[in-house]
Amino acid sequence: MRYWRKPLDLHEVKIPHGEVVIIDDRCKGCGFCVEYCPKDVLIMSERFNKKGYHPPEVVKHGECVNCNLCEMICPDFAIFSIQSGEREAVGEEKEVAN
């Protein structure tokens, strides 16, 4: 995120890090998550899921800021993010960005 001015408490701001979980076989390849991720963490992959669509994949490992936008925008509940370090609490994940 770019600031239009330097915040007075900038040195106290901690940027969160997330891990992206993609449930390939729910995806219908609409590309919303790729298009709207503010950090350009995702691209559409070349591989196919069992429905015949291309699911997204993580290309910028370590760049996810856990904003949950991909999760909110996905019409098929096929992607979500979790706070880094909380992965053990989630069941079976397909792909993770640290």
Q: Where along the sequence are the contacts to ligand SF4 (CB under 6 A)? A: 18, 20, 27-33, 37-39, 41-42, 55-56, 64-70, 73-76, 78-79, 81
- State the SS3 of 10-66: HHHCCCCCEEEEECHHHCCCCCHHHHHCCCCCEEECCCCCCCCCCCEEECCCCCCCC
Collapsing DSSP to helix, strand or coil, 83 comes out as strand
Provide, rounded to whole angstroms, the least separation between the CB of residue 82 and ligand SF4: 9
Provide, rounded to whole angstroms, the least separation between the CB of residue 3 and ligand SF4: 17
As a whole number of angstroms, the distance between CA 94 and CA 4 comes to 37
Closest to ligand SF4 by CB, 11 vs 72, is: 72
Closest to ligand SF4 by CB, 5 vs 50, is: 50
As a whole number of angstroms, the distance between CA 21 and CA 68 comes to 11
Closest to ligand SF4 by CB, 5 vs 30, is: 30
Contact in structure between 19 and 79 (CB atoms under 8 Å) = no
Provide, rounded to whole angstroms, the least separation between the CB of residue 88 and ligand SF4: 19
Provide, rounded to whole angstroms, the least separation between the CB of residue 60 and ligand SF4: 9
